[in-house]
């Protein structure tokens, strides 16, 4: 009897372990098959990686969850009587469909195969992906169906409304909430380990509530999902072997939103605020991003329509991007934000299990302090309200001019998109190397072209450095060889060397260090120190 009690107590841990191992093994097998070529994520100006990484983490995670749910139903067929379990399996199938259409290039190659089979020339050179409008249509349809089937609602009070209108408004708000949370988890999937780590924390908090209030459906479902997320997270830690993809992040966010509503329904909670905390950091990041895009980043003369359009336009200025630009690594940023998420989820749990007005007030004040700290620290660089109003009224401007030579399209787009608020980048071709004397540049970035030999690259460096004696960053393939040649042959100056590819945010940090040092060279002694060779390899 004691053994049975022990097994019952550790049953969720067993499920988490089995699900995690299954997901890890499945993903390892998929990574060794040609299937990964269908899921390659091509880097662009909005992404912090500069190499192709498969976006099949969500595909493997969903397959694992589907197998886990099927095994539990086979273990106890009575689980078929629980609506939540059936809903979860339907959600897995829907997001698998989205993953095949959006995360992979399967449709592109299928159309190419059909064209070649018919003897026609296939002219579509770009991989086909699901349009955003159709993706949202699927998400809203699934959310509305699930909310109606499970009778879930966001607890809100709407006085002076008719009962029918209240039901319609609450149904719409609940649907928007579920889709919004799902997409907020998709949005934070920007650096290695972030979405997986925060998802595991939110799901673990919901699992705690499921056991605290004895909610059987969630006690069955959540361990399977948590285990799959942890198994994926092993391969998503920096440097990531694969990415989660839209299907995986949307499914996780969807289940977090639905599970939170399901908990409130089962315990009769009438306060919707714990839902915000249980969803955690992703919702905060989306709110801050929309506020920033509406009030801070547009020009003062921008019209309401353009501001609203910018609110939903993607960018690379989320909290995790800001942390990278401050010099934190992927691992450090993920750990810090996971701690933030833990605080949020803990606050949500506390508000649900202990409904005391004074405790609730204290928790809200504490969380407002954390939110204010995150905004001032990561967006306005600790300058708080002074920087906020300066950006709000458009009184700040770029100060430093950075010359970039022979940048590929990915690097050029990323620098233009992510660093333009701090630096003014000017891009030059190799033919411009000898015409830099009249250019007033604070820092140089020189990138080695893919097909360029080391000797040719060194000759180009010598021409550039003879024209400009300023701090420089050199991006090359063979760091050791180039650093030795620079030390022997090139003019004395400040140089930072890095192996390609380099993440954009660390690159911006090193630029800031170089130009920040350059602005202090005012005396003759400083000028002499500026001409001293200092080669740093990163």
* 313 plus 414 within the same structural domain: no
Residue 409 falls inside a structural domain: yes
Structure tokens at 186: 């998709």
DSSP lists the bridge partners of residue 495 as 472, 535
The total number of structural domains that make up the chain: 2
* 131 plus 246 within the same structural domain: yes
pLDDT digits (tens, 9 = 90+) for 177-201: 999 999 888 888 777 788 888 999 9
* 383 plus 436 within the same structural domain: no
Average of per-residue pLDDT across 466-474: 75
**CA distances in angstroms from 239 to 50, 243, 537, listed in the order given:** 12, 10, 19
Average of per-residue pLDDT across 146-172: 82
3-state class (DSSP) for residue 15: helix
pLDDT bucket at 519, cuts 50 / 70 / 90: very low
Final residue in a domain of this structure, among 387, 408, 438: 387
Distance of CA 399 to the CA centre of its chain: 29
pLDDT digits (tens, 9 = 90+) for 65-118: 999 988 888 877 776 667 888 888 888 888 888 877 776 666 666 666 666 666
Identify the residue with better confidence: 453 or 520. 453
Average of per-residue pLDDT across 420-438: 67
Q: What confidence score (pLDDT) does residue 526 get?
A: 42
Question: 151's torsion region: left (phi>0), alpha (psi -120 to 50) or beta?
Answer: left
What angle separates helix 216-236 from helix 194-212, to the nearest 10 degrees? Answer: 160
Q: Report d(CA 304, CA 307) in Å as an integer.
A: 5
Final residue in a domain of this structure, among 329, 360, 387: 387
Residue 497 has pLDDT above 50, yes or no: yes
Kindly give the pairing relationship between strand 53-54 and strand 40-41. Answer: antiparallel
Q: What confidence score (pLDDT) does residue 311 get?
A: 65
Q: What confidence score (pLDDT) does residue 203 get?
A: 94
Q: Model-level pTM?
A: 0.75
Q: What confidence score (pLDDT) does residue 298 get?
A: 57
Q: Report d(CA 113, CA 111) in Å as an integer.
A: 5
Residue 393 falls inside a structural domain: no
pLDDT bucket at 389, cuts 50 / 70 / 90: very low
pLDDT digits (tens, 9 = 90+) for 521-538: 333 344 444 444 456 565
Q: Report d(CA 111, CA 128) in Å as an integer.
A: 9
Contact 411, 447 (CB under 8 A): yes
Residue 296 falls inside a structural domain: yes
Q: Is 395 exposed, middle or buried (0-12, 13-18, 19+ CB in 10 A)?
A: exposed
Residue 294 falls inside a structural domain: yes
Contact 64, 15 (CB under 8 A): no
Final residue in a domain of this structure, among 326, 358, 387: 387
pLDDT bucket at 518, cuts 50 / 70 / 90: very low
Residue 394 falls inside a structural domain: no
Contact 359, 269 (CB under 8 A): no
Residue 497 falls inside a structural domain: yes
Structure tokens at 133: 């409008």
* 383 plus 517 within the same structural domain: no
Identify the residue with better confidence: 391 or 168. 168
* 30 plus 74 within the same structural domain: yes
* 414 plus 437 within the same structural domain: yes
Longest CA–CA separation in the chain, Å:
86
Q: What confidence score (pLDDT) does residue 524 get?
A: 39
Q: Which of 137-146, 149-158, 370-379 is predicted with the least confidence, judged by mean pLDDT?
A: 370-379
Residue 228 has pLDDT above 90, yes or no: yes
Residue 130 has pLDDT above 80, yes or no: no
Range of the domain at 206: 2-387
DSSP state of 81: G
H or E stretch at 501: none
Residue 392 falls inside a structural domain: no
* 373 plus 404 within the same structural domain: no
With CA atoms as reference, report the closest residue to 264 among 252, 277, 253.
277
* 377 plus 499 within the same structural domain: no
* 457 plus 327 within the same structural domain: no
Side-chain-side CA neighbours of 462 within 13 Å: the count stands at: 13
Q: What confidence score (pLDDT) does residue 59 get?
A: 85
pLDDT bucket at 388, cuts 50 / 70 / 90: very low
* 458 plus 322 within the same structural domain: no
Kindly give the pairing relationship between strand 423-428 and strand 494-499. Answer: unpaired
Q: What confidence score (pLDDT) does residue 225 get?
A: 94
Identify the residue with better confidence: 486 or 455. 455
CATH code for the domain in which residue 410 is found: 3.40.50.2300
pLDDT digits (tens, 9 = 90+) for 25-39: 998 888 888 777 776
* 498 plus 414 within the same structural domain: yes
Start-to-end CA distance of the chain, whole Å, equals 60
Q: What confidence score (pLDDT) does residue 326 get?
A: 65
Q: What confidence score (pLDDT) does residue 505 get?
A: 66
Residue 125 has pLDDT above 60, yes or no: no
Residue 447 has pLDDT above 60, yes or no: yes
Helix, strand, coil abundance in the chain, percent, nearest 5: 65, 5, 30
Identify the residue with better confidence: 120 or 338. 338
pLDDT bucket at 208, cuts 50 / 70 / 90: very high
pLDDT digits (tens, 9 = 90+) for 250-277: 999 999 999 999 999 888 777 778 888 8
Residue 383 has pLDDT above 80, yes or no: no
* 201 plus 139 within the same structural domain: yes
Residue 526 falls inside a structural domain: yes
pLDDT bucket at 22, cuts 50 / 70 / 90: very high
Q: Report d(CA 329, CA 8) in Å as an integer.
A: 41
Residue 154 has pLDDT above 80, yes or no: yes
């Amino acid at each position: 009897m004691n053994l049975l009690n022990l097994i019952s107590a550790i049953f969720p841990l067993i499920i988490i372990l089995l699900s995690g191992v299954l997901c890890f093994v499945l993903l390892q097998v998929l990574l060794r098959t040609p299937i990964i070529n269908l899921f390659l994520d091509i880097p662009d100006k909005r992404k912090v990686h500069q190499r192709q990484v498969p976006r099949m983490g969500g595909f493997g995670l969903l397959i694992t969850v589907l197998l886990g749910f099927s095994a539990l139903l086979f273990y106890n067929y009575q689980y078929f009587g629980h609506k939540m379990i059936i809903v979860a399996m339907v959600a897995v199938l829907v997001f698998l469909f989205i993953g095949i259409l959006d995360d992979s290039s399967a449709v592109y190659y299928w159309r190419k195969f059909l064209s070649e089979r018919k003897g026609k020339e296939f002219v579509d050179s770009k991989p086909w992906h699901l349009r955003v409008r159709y993706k949202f249509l699927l998400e809203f349809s699934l959310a509305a169906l699930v909310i109606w089937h499970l009778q879930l609602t966001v607890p809100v009070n709407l006085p002076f409304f008719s009962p029918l209108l209240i039901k319609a408004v609450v149904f719409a708000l609940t649907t928007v909430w579920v889709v919004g949370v799902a997409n907020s988890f998709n949005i934070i999937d920007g650096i290695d380990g972030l979405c997986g780590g925060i998802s595991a924390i939110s799901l673990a908090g919901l699992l705690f509530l499921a056991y605290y209030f004895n909610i059987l459906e969630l006690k069955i479902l959540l361990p399977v999902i948590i285990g799959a997320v942890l198994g994926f997270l092993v391969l998503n830690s920096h440097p990531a072997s694969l990415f989660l993809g839209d299907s995986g992040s949307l499914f996780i966010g969807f289940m977090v939103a639905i599970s939170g509503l399901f908990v409130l329904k089962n315990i009769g909670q009438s306060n919707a605020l714990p839902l915000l905390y249980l969803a955690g950091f992703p919702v905060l990041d989306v709110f801050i991003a929309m506020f920033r895009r509406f009030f801070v980043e547009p020009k003062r003369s921008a019209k309401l329509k353009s501001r609203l359009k910018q609110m939903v336009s993607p960018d690379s200025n989320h909290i995790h991007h800001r942390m990278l630009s401050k010099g934190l690594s992927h691992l450090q940023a993920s750990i810090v934000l996971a701690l933030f998420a833990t605080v949020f989820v803990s606050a949500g749990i506390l508000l649900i299990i202990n409904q005391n007005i004074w405790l609730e007030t204290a928790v809200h004040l504490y969380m407002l302090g954390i939110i204010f700290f995150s905004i001032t620290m990561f967006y306005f660089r600790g300058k708080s309200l002074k920087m906020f109003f300066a950006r709000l009224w458009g009184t700040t401007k770029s100060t430093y001019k950075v010359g970039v030579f022979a940048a590929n399209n990915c690097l050029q787009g990323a620098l233009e998109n992510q660093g333009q608020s701090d630096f003014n980048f000017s891009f030059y071709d190799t033919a411009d190397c000898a015409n830099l004397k009249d250019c007033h540049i604070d820092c140089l970035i020189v990138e080695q072209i893919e097909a360029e030999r080391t000797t040719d690259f060194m000759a180009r460096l010598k021409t550039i450095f003879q024209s400009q004696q300023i701090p420089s960053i050199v991006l090359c393939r063979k760091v050791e060889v180039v650093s030795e040649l620079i030390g022997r042959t090139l003019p004395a100056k400040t140089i930072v060397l890095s192996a390609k590819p380099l993440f954009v945010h660390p690159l911006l940090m090193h630029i800031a260090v170089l130009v920040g040092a350059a602005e202090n060279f005012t005396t003759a002694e400083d000028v002499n120190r500026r001409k001293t060779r200092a080669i740093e390899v990163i």
